[in-house]
Amino acid sequence: LALLCAAHTAAASAGGAELALFAVLGARECAERLPFGPSPPLDPSSDPRFDTSLSHALHDTWRQEILPNGTSVGVVVVWHFLSGPRRLAERFLFAVGRGEDVLWEVYSPAHAQVPVNITGTWRFSSAAGLTSAMFEGGSGARFSDDDGTFGAGHP
């Protein structure tokens, strides 16, 4: 299992830069065991990591690709944050403290042309222990102290 998370930056929305890949997750590296810190640009074949060098990336949309076998995309989830643009660090801190209202568009093999739309509130984990210092050059072996979710779901 692999999970790729990318932010549509302001430049990408204006037809500029490509998506900024900020996290590559694995079956065992989803939050608690996910290394984090500034890193060279990630690509889909990178080892699992959360790249904090993108902490200031202003965005209002994410694209998440789920690769059930580690190589082929099985499900795509497009996250539309209803609060509008935020920086990546702010997005996670809000998700821990208050939650982020999201419209998720879920594309799966069964719904490849017409997505399933889900509206809800994304909460990363109230016990994650995320701090602004983590996003300002900090690094470590555990992005979250206790769990954390990267997914769409009903409240």
| Per-residue pLDDT at 145 | 87
114-126 per-position pLDDT tens digit: 899 999 999 988 8
DSSP string, 56-83: T-EEEEEEEEEETTSSS--EEEEEEETT
The residue-averaged pLDDT of 1-23 equals 66
Reported pTM: 0.86
Mean pLDDT of the chain: 85
Q: Are 144 and 34 in contact (CB under 8 A)?
A: yes
**How distant, in Å, are the alpha carbons of 42, 60, 89 from that of 34?**
14, 24, 16
| Per-residue pLDDT at 17 | 47
| Per-residue pLDDT at 50 | 92
| Per-residue pLDDT at 18 | 63
Residue 95 pLDDT grade (very low, low, confident, very high; cuts 50, 70, 90): very high
22-32 per-position pLDDT tens digit: 999 887 787 88
pLDDT at 155 over 80: no
pLDDT at 138 over 80: yes
Half-sphere exposure of 10 (CA within 13 A, CB side): 9
30-51 per-position pLDDT tens digit: 788 899 999 999 988 899 999 9
Q: Which amino acid is at 1?
A: L
- Listed in sequence order, the residues at least 6 apart from 104 whose beta carbon sits closer than 8 Å to its beta carbon are 77, 78, 79, 80, 117, 118, 119, 120, 152
